[in-house]
Amino acid sequence: MTATTVISAEEAVGRIRTGDTVMVGGFGLVGAPLRLIDALVEASDATDLTIVSNNIGEPGRGLGKLLRQGRIRRGISSYFTSNPEAVAAVNAGEIEATLVPQGTFAEAIRAGGAGIGGFYTPVGAGTLLADGKEKRVIDGVTHVLEEPICADVSLVYAARADELGNLWYRRTARNFNPLMATAATVTIAEAGEIVPVGALDPESVVTPHLYVDHVVASA
């Protein structure tokens, strides 16, 4: 068994260092670890961060708060337009943007967690997104090689966690959270409810505790 610890959000974000790559789960604000994001904004001075998230929050909400502090150096996302301030920051050269098609984004994170060295996909072939990438024709169709995405720290949200760190997600929170939980050196899970070990039906566990280093209560 791994020694997952239940700690405060402030203690948890202390694991994040300047220059780190940080994965943040959620689709916009849905299923996002908002308590952990707030702690990162309020209780951490880590800066020059690379944020791997489907998008950069909304104006003044979620990761949008961190953006306003000027602490994001690079965003790796599927889209930035949910936050016009992120678009403006990219256009002004204040942050670097790496745009990844959503399915490719998910698969690259999965590959990172599974230890896969890369994969070929036709998505993006023939566009600017394929510039500089290795190409291969498979069954007459041009594919591009996509590299896995990994992180120093993943911040994920689960509806329920046990004290060992097993995670259960509700509905649309099963977006990028389970993938990101596997793809970082340190995984911190925010949970809507923390229950004793044995209270979760083993068949309902989506992320086994061996991937989770710390659990934080949402409130």
Tokens of 112: 């990172």
**Residue 37 maps to a domain:** yes
Q: Which of 150, 189, 152 is nearest to 173 (CA)?
A: 189
Tokens of 214: 């710390």
**Residue 209 maps to a domain:** yes
pLDDT of residue 96: 96
**Residue 137 maps to a domain:** no
Average confidence score pLDDT of the chain: 95
pLDDT of residue 219: 82
> Which CATH number does the domain housing residue 36 bear?
3.40.1080.10
| pLDDT digit string, tens, across residues 32-51 | 999 999 999 999 999 999 99
Q: Which of 219, 198, 191 is nearest to 5 (CA)?
A: 191
Average pLDDT in the 19-31 region? 94
Question: How many structural domains is the chain composed of?
Answer: 1
Q: Which of 112, 116, 141, 146 is nearest to 129 (CA)?
A: 146
Tokens of 217: 């209560």
| pLDDT digit string, tens, across residues 89-142 | 999 999 999 999 999 999 999 999 999 999 999 999 999 999 999 999 999 999
φ/ψ of residue 58, rounded to 5? -130, 165
Q: Where in the sequence is the domain holding 13, given as residue range(s)? A: 5-100+149-217
Give the CA dihedral 163, 166, 170, 173, nearest 10 degrees: 110
CA gyration radius for the chain? 17
pLDDT of residue 3: 55
pTM of the predicted protein model: 0.94
**Residue 162 maps to a domain:** yes
* pLDDT beyond 60 at 143: yes
**Residue 22 maps to a domain:** yes
| pLDDT digit string, tens, across residues 188-208 | 999 999 999 999 999 999 999
Distance CA 26, CA 30 (A): 5
**Residue 42 maps to a domain:** yes
**Residue 142 maps to a domain:** no
* pLDDT beyond 60 at 160: yes
**Residue 61 maps to a domain:** yes
Average pLDDT in the 58-74 region? 96
DSSP codes, the chain? ----EE--HHHHHTT--TT-EEEE-SBTTBT--HHHHHHHHHH----SEEEESSS--BTTBTHHHHHHTT-EEEEEES--TT-HHHHHHHHTTSSEEEE--HHHHHHHHHHHHHT---EEESTTTTSGGGTTS-EEEETTEEEEEE----EEEEEEEEEEEETT--EE--GGGTTTHHHHTTSEEEEEEEEEEEE-TT-S-GGG-SB-GGG-SEEEE--
